[in-house]
Structure formats: C-alpha cells, structure tokens
Chain A
Amino acid sequence: MRDTVKLSDFIRPHRKALAAAVIMGMLSAVLNVSVPAFISRISDVIGRDLFGNINLAEVRKFGLICLLLIAGGFLFADLQNRIMVEVSRKFTGELRKALDDKVDRLPLHYFDIHVNGDTLSILTNDVNTLNQALLNGTIAPILSGVTMIGCLVLMFVTNVTMAVGSVLATLAGMFVMAFALAKTNPYVKRQQEVLGELNGDVSESLNGFVVIKSFNAEKDVRESFCKKNEEMFRDNLRAQFTNGIMSPLMGFSGNLGYVTVCIIGAYLIYAGTPGVSIASVIAFILYVRQFSTPLAILAGSLAQLQPAFAASGRIFGFLNEEEMPEAEAGKAAFPEKTEGAVEFDHISFGYVPEVTVIHDFSAVIKPGSKVAIVGPTGAGKSTLINLLLGYYETGSGTIRIDGTDISEVPKEDLRNRIGYVPQDVWTFEGSIKDNIRYMNDSLSDEDIDRIIGLAGLEHFVSMLPEGADTVLDENCSISAGQKQLITIARAMAKNAPILVLDEATSNIDTRMEKLVQAAVDELIKGRTSFVIAHRLSTIRNADLILVMKDGDICEQGDHRELMEKKGFYYELYNSQFESED
C-alpha cells in the first residue's frame, strides 16, 4: 500500500522559508509596534520643556530612530511578503503538478464514475482556495498566536487571578467560535463539492452542446444547474456568515475579558490583596487590551482557513485515490526484440465485479499475424483491447506477449510496443503535424508528409491554408472521418511492433478506406495486428478471425474455414449482403 499523501508533504519542503517569513514578520511587527513608543518619547521631550527650549537634538535623535524603525519594519514586512509569494508560487505549482501527474496514474475506472469538470475544479478552484489561505492566512495567525502567548505570559507573571479571569472570558469566546466553526464545517465542505459539481455541469453541457441544443434541453439543464446553484447559495450563506461573525464575536469576548479583569482588579484592590497595586492593575489592563487584537485576527484567519481545509480535503482525497497497480520495474521484462506473439490465457473480466463481460477467453496469436475480432456490438471486443493495453486488470487469467505476463512489466514498456487507434477518436490542441508526430520526435517533416500521404490526408491537408501546420482546436473543427484519419496516421507514426485498430475506419468513406486499408496492410506486414471492424470486407484477408459473442469466442479460424463452417460468422458475413424486405 502506498503512503497517503498529506498537505504537510507539500509544506515541508518550504518549512525553512516559512520559518524565515515568520521571523521576518515578527521582526517587522516588533519594529512597527515600537515606533509609537519612540514617538511618545518625542512627545515626552516636547512636553518636558514645553515652555523652555525644546531639546531639538533629542527630538532629532528619536526622530531618526523612528525613521530607522519604520524603514526596518517596512523592509522586513516586504521580505516576508516576497518569501511568502515565492513559497506560494512554488507550493501551488508543485501541488498542481502532483494533481496533473496523478491523472496519469488513475485507473480508467476512475473516469467511469467521475465527471471531468469536477476533477477540473479541484485543479483550479480548490487549489486557488488553498493558495489564497496560504498566502493570507498562515503568517497572520502565527504572529497573533505568538503575541497572544507573550501577553499571556506577562499577564500570568503580573497577576494569576486576573490572568485566569481574562483567559476564562476569552475561552468562552473561543468556545462559541469553535462551536460555530464545527457547525458550519459540513456546509463549507459541501460548498467546495457543489462548486465542483457546478463546474462539472458546465463542462458536460458544453461538451454535449449540440445535443442540448437540438433536443431543446436547455430548460432541463438550466433547472438542474439552478438547483445545485441554490444549494451552493445555502451552503455559502452559512460559511460566509460564520466567517463574518468571528470578528464581532471575538470583539465581544475581548470586551468581556476587559470588564472581568477590571472587576477582579477592583475587588483585589478593594480587598487590599498584598502585592496588588493600582499601577499593576492598570498595567494588566493594558495587556488585556493588547491581547484582544491578535485574538480577533486569529479568529478571522481561522474562518478563512476553513474553506481551505475543505479544499485541501478534496485535493488530497484525489491525490490518494487508488492508483492503477503498476509492476515494479525490473520484475520482468519483454525480450529485447518483440516478436509479437500474444497469448490470452483463460481471461475473465468484468468492469464491475458482479457483471462478467469476458468469460474465460483464450487465444494464441502467432507473431506477425493479422487477427480480426468480429462480433455484434457489445460483445466485448473493445474490452479485450482495453485488457491488452493494460487499462484494466484482468479478473483472472493472464495475457502474455512473447511469453511475458503483461501485468508484470511496467505499463510504459507494454504500451511502447503497441500502436493503437481507439474507437473514440481524440485529437489534442495542436497542429495536425504535432498530432501525427506526437511523441516521435525523431520523425522528420518529410516522414510526416509521407505518413499524411499514406493515411489519405494529403488532399485534405493541401486544402488548408496552413497545411499540416493548421492548429486543431475548438475554432478549427474537422470532420469525423478526417479526425479518424489523423488518428490512424498517429498510430502509423508510432511504428510499434503490435498494432491495434478498434473500428479505425468506421467514419471513413469506403473509397478512402480502401486506400488507407492498403497502406495499413502494408504497414502491418510482419507485425502482429488486431483489427476490429464491422465492415467485414476489411478483414477478409486476416490470418485469424476471432468471432466473439457475449464475451466468448464462439468461432475462430480464417475466412475460408469460417465460411465453410456456416456458423455465426457465416451469418454475420452474409448479413452484409442481405437486402431489406
């Protein structure tokens, strides 16, 4: 089991800088606080010789000291700020990077049960909230904490009875505060969650915009959004209210402390307690007044930190999501040169444990053969590919490539050997060239042009004003078939020993398909390839056809054998040509 990741893991590398910031903050606070003290010295100097000659030299001296103090106070405060913004920059950067990296280690199953927009919200909104708290909410409470402890010590040294009285009054305030914070905590948590849900709603709606529009679903979508939005309002109201009452609450608690101390002091003087002078009571009262300011700051910061904790809970909940099991490096390895022998050995699998999708699937594929997987929709063809690529763990059984169990080699090694055209096309924001070249930096522009030609994209690319450098993004959409061709070109560019084509040509017109098919056939010569297709013409020349039905192989053989058998494949094949009644 991996160790859980904690907030402190991200703070720890910066602890020295944070300590420095706290020290700078304290120095600055001390210097700033002492300015009024020196000003009152100036005032004393003026007052002393009010009617005579004011000692200007002394005024100048104290003035100079004050100036130095002010400059020093500013300097230290500025240093503290510089350190803090730098720490926050690094901290946020590292946190986001960890989150982004985590995405790559999640099992695909995670995405079956989570909405993308919600995950996105963690990366933007939650990290922001946490960062704001770090920037504005860490140093202030520490400083006020230290000031408070200082005051407390002085108070207890001066008079224990009064100190106890004032602490009790403060504690009462703190208690109410803690109670309020605890009460609102679930709402603050929920608030971050709902924000994520809203983000998810917007993101999903935009991705399915065409459907929303053409189905007049705007009203429904809006209503569902508004419902969440209203919940957000209610949660937010409570959170914000708690935040807002901290300062009046602590103000009151400070005043309560003040009055308590005055009464105790008066009683002590009245009772003539030994060691209690009027002066000491007055001094004590000054401490109490100094005590209440940091208290209010502390309370304010705590309320600010609350959403940060909620955000942090979501962030680290995500970081601690279960990961795709990864074989340790070096446990097993593929042979240096991949032959491409693939063996499915009694594979069973279900996306959820209760529903088995693949039942006891076995097949042995000779190196370099073209394997076609055919079968009705939902038979489990793509699922088989998902297992081969290691997206999901097999329930039982093993898949071997060249005799090596794929679950024992690092996923990266496994996937390096497989060129894959998924059933769902995906291109990223970048030029057509980049989309094809992808991680193969060794390919020259000429190579890319050749691949563009092979994949039948030449004409299309030549029509674009910027050719292969045209950037694909939301403003430049291309047709579904064109996208599919790019995806095929991408797999061609990868030049891997094993090739997987999952309905790679489903959206391509048949004339183009024929061209591409010829190129693909050329490419897969000598490589093991898996081809899934409904248009059976594309697979007639396969060395091995696996006919799947409900997660089982019901027949296998080559085209001729299967046709002679007059079984399920025969039916499937002929259904292409049956005319309608």
Chain B
Amino acid sequence: MKLLVKNIRGKEWFIFLLVMLSGLAQVVMDVTIPDFMARLTDILQSDRVVLGDVIREGSLMLLFAFLSLIIGLAGAYGVAVIAGLISMRIREQIFGKILDFSLAEVSDFGTASLITRCTNDVTQIQNVVVVVLIVAFKAPLSAVLAFGKIVGKNMIWTITMGVIMLFIMIVSLLVLRHIMPLMVRQQYETDDLTRFDGEHLRGIQVIQAFNSKRFHSARFQAANDRLNDTVKRSGYSFTFLSAFSNSMMNFFNLSVYITGAFIIMNSSPAEKTGLFSDLVTFSAYALIVMAAFVSLVQAYLSIAKAMASERRISEVLNAEVSIRDGAGNASGEETDSVLSFRNVSFSYPGASKTMLKDISFEAKKGETVAIIGATGSGKTTLLNLIPRLFDVSGGKILLNGKDIRDYTLFELRNRIGYIPQKSILFTGTIAENIDYGENGKLAAAIDDIRRAAGTGMADGFIREKEEGYSYRVSEGGRNFSGGQRQRLAISRAVCRDPEVYLFDDSFSALDFKTDREVRSKLRKEAKDAVMLIVAQRIGTIKNADRIIVLDKGSIAAQGRHAELMKSCGIYREIAATQLSEEEMKAYA
C-alpha cells in the first residue's frame, strides 16, 4: 500500500480527488436515475398520458444520464492516469534499483525472478489499483446512503444483516488465508517458468545438438504444471467467494421476509402496516448495503492478492546494496604505482573458502602485468575486484595511491577498461556497442569509434558489412564469430581510453597473428595505460613487465619471463607445453 501512496505525487492528487468525486457523483446518479424512471412509469400509468410530460421528464432524465456519462468518462480517465502512472513508476524504480545492485544481489534474487518482478508483478499491482480506485469510493458511499434509509428501522433485521455480513466476512478471511500463500507461490512459480524457459532459449544450440529437448521439456512441464495448479486453486477460491456472496445475499433477502412474516404475525394490528412497508424498504436498501459490502470485501481480497507482488517488489526496492560509492574525497598516498594490490584476500559471498590469499603486486604507468595460472586458479576473480564487481575481503587495492573503495563507483570505473572473459555484446548497432556506457568524457565521435575499432582490429570486418558501423548486433552478439565478438569487446574498452586495461583471456579466440597485432597496436595507442592481461599463451605475455603466476589463489611467483623460466617450476611447466624444445633449452 505504501508503495502505491508513495507513487502519487503533487498535482496527481487532484486527479485522485477527481476520481473520488466522480465516484461519489456516480453513486448519487445511480440513486437519482431510478427516481426518474419511476416517475416516467408513473406518468405512463396515469389515466391521461400527456406526451409533453413524458418528453420533459425524459429529457431531464437524459440530461442527468448524460451528466453521469461525462462524470463517468472523467473518472475513467483519472483511473487510467493514476493506475498507469503508478505502474510506470514502480517499474522504473525496480529497474533502477536493479541497476544499482552489485553482482551479489543479482545472483541472490536470481535473474529470472528479477525479470518477473519488473513486469509480471507490476501488472498484478496495476490491475488491483484499477479495481480499488473504481470500487473503494463508490461502495462505502452507497452503503452509507442506503444504510441511512434503514437505520433504526428494525433491530432483528439489522442483526440478521450484521450476522450474515459477519458470516461473509469470516468466510472471506478463510478464503484469504487460503489464497495468500497461493499468490506468493504463484509468483515464485512464474519465476521458475521464466528461468527454465530462459535456459531453454539460451541453450537452444546445445539442446538441439544433444537432442535433449525432452529433458528440458520435462523440467518446463513440471514448472508449468505447478504454476497452473496454483493458479487454478487461487482462481477457484476467488470465484467461489463471489458465488457464495451472491447466494448469501439472496439468503439474507429471504430471511428478512421469513422473519418478517413472524414479526408481523405477532405484532399489534396498529403496527402491521408500518412493519410491512418497512419490510419492503428494508430488504431493498439492505441489499444495496450488502452488495456494496461484498464488493468492498472483494476489493480487499484483490489487494491482499496483490500484496504478494507488492512484497516481492518491496524486497527489491529495500534490498541493501553491498557495493556502494566511496566518499570520493579521501586523499591517497604518494606513489608512482598506478595500481597496487596490498595483501588482498577474497572469498565469494556465502562461501567459506578463501579464493584469493595475500595477493600483492604493483603496476606502474605504462606497464603490462600478465597473470597466468591454471583453470580455476582465481584469475577472473582477481580482475573482478578492480572495478569492484566484488569487494576485497581483506587487504586493499590502490588506484593512483587511493583505495578503490574511496572513489565513487563512477569515477573508479571510468578509469577502467574491462574485457570480460565472455564477450558480451548488446542489441543495437556496432557503433553503440563500441561507444558503450560513460567514461566521464564527451560521447565518442564516429572517428573515435573508428579509431577504437582499428586498435581492436575490428575495423576490417566491420567495413566489410554493408551497413558498416550501423550493422545490427543481435543479443549477446550471436551474429558474430567468436573472435569478432572478442575484438568488438576489446574495441569497446579502447573507446573508453582508460588508465587501466583488464584483459581476461581476451585473446583466446583470436589467431596468433591477430592477437599479436592487437596487442602491439594497443601498446602504441595507450602508451601510459596499465595493462593487466590474463592469458594462457606464453606468447601473449612473454614481453610483459611483470608476470604473476597464480596458483590456487595465491601468487606462486612473479617476475619477468626469463626470471620465471629459471625460478618458477609451474611457469616452466606451462611454458614446456607451448614452446619448442630449443626455446626451452635457452632458459635451462
């Protein structure tokens, strides 16, 4: 509820007021128009029908009806505006919040769940807002108006009414208790469905190759069945309640007349006429009261139904973001290192194992630092710490002498050009993919984009496309070869003109020639930048100013190629798998 109220702002409260007034006005109309109808009938039933009277009353009624129509239209407009605004804002807030998340929160919630929360859950809320806005003002007013006509008329009937309303209420609460967990489940099961199907879509190539669609269909089907079963049960409870309330209203009407018969029987003749006419009015108006009550109960139930979604949305909005901006003004130490690791250790959130232990190294302006190590030794993990995708668990990382946690995230990441191990591109043009994100400078001109693509050796194949830089990239870059994707990802980082480059095995899909050319161009273009290169190929890192050999999360050795060939067993082993015998001998 708070979520809704918070999202109506300023002048929009006037629209809200308009909706309210229109609701009230419509109730008044609803009461008045039948009077006109009755009067028209009376005129027709009178002995001498005067056409003029009919036309006069008729036009008056039409005028009223027209007024009611206009008010109704205005009300409908208000409802549409408010419901639309609320859902738009909530959607925007969720997505904005997701973008503030760090990786840890995203994997906590799960991608699929965040997707559903952003669309499906908001739709649930919007539907309820509409119901509430339409019913919430009308029903109480018509209940009050109708109740005013019968209040104090007859204790027994009033009590009957109360008892039956109480009964409806109790049943509704029971239904509610039944529905609530179902609603929560329903949304989580929608997550499952999204997850399995997203998996199916992403893995389609492998799934087809392994003829494993049955395996995935079965998983999907199970999730599908679970969801549909839940929807069925909650759907049934809801319709049950409306059938039940309907019957109860009829039952109430009946009981008023039956008790009426007895009451009238046992009353004094003088009271009888009055009682009888009371009976008729009471039943008529009490039914209005009850109808209003029932629709209120149902509106309440819809709200409760949407509470599941509201809670899920609030969970996202109120989630604590683990990685936040630093103060930005702390002053660092005087140092000539651009990047320094000081006794850094790290373990993944929730994992007990320490992934990185006591990592220390320095990288000076214009230096290339290479990281090599076995599969799973923690190379990617180490790089991820620098743009603060995760925060160190111990020790610190300094950029230009200042702890990276003292920078604002924006400022820190502006200085970094990251090429992740998996080259991810986005739907959009090639140019948009290269000139991606912000780096605190002006948007790149087409020449800058070309230059970056040139450095990344992507310019060649881009030019071959008829559309050139406006060629459309599919989601994830599916319409490019593995090596082309990698070169685009490199160009994207180059376009930022960063102080620190992070290459995570970013040359693995390139042939050796391209690999070498890209690196030599980079070295020329970005003379002053620090390059951190994770690679498997000795050739790629041989000329680095410092090579760090990572072994099970610790630094086994660091130094230049020649030194390591002499001193580091692991490095020699790696080299032995790649170099010719003569080369190996040279270092023996």
Contacts and interface: CB of A to CB of B under 8 A. Distances in A.
Interface in A110-129: 111-117, 119-121, 123-125, 128
B314 interface: no
Interface in A182-208: 195, 198-208
Contacts, number: 529
B210 A438 contact: yes
Contact of A222 (B62, B99, B254, B273): B99
Given A248-B72, A478-B376, A577 B114 contact: no
A215 to B, nearest CB: 3
B73 A248 contact: yes
B201 A225 contact: no
Output the residue of B91, B126, B254, B573 with the most chain A CB within 10 A. B254
Counting chain A residues whose Cβ lies within 8 A of the other chain, the interface size class is 35 or more
A580 B239 contact: no
Nearest to B43: A266
A67 B252 CA distance: 11
A249 B75 CA distance: 12
Given A262-B58, A474-B111, A512 B75 contact: no
B184 interface: no
A100 interface: yes
B400 interface: no
Contact of A59 (B210, B240, B261, B410): B261
A503 B422 CA distance: 14
A202 B95 contact: yes
B111 A203 contact: yes
A281 interface: yes
Contacts of B276: 46-47, 50
B198 A120 contact: yes
A199 B120 CA distance: 9
Output the residue of B49, B232, B492 with the most chain A CB within 10 A. B232
Interface in A469-501: 474-475, 477-482, 485, 490, 494
Given A104-B213, A251-B72, A267 B505 contact: no
B424 A211 contact: yes
Interface in B458-514: 461, 465-466, 474-476, 478-484, 486-487, 492, 496, 505, 508-514
A115 B110 contact: no
B193 A124 contact: yes
Contacts of B484: 377-378
Contacts of B426: 204, 208, 211
Contacts of B510: 377, 534
A238 B80 CA distance: 8
Contacts of B126: 236
Contacts of B200: 100, 103
B254 A233 contact: no
A395 interface: no
B224 A46 contact: no
B346 interface: no
Nearest to B223: A96
Interface string A496-518: 00000001001111111110000
A206 B115 contact: yes
A229 interface: yes
A121 B210 contact: no
B413 interface: yes
B484 to A, nearest CB: 5
> What 10 pairs across the A-B complex have the smallest Cβ distances?
A377-B483, A248-B72, A244-B76, A215-B437, A481-B375, A217-B437, A240-B80, A255-B65, A77-B243, A266-B54
5 contacts: A35-B250, A46-B276, A96-B193, A103-B201, A252-B65
Given A266-B43, A506-B505, 6 more contacts: A32-B247, A42-B258, A78-B243, A101-B217, A202-B98, A225-B95
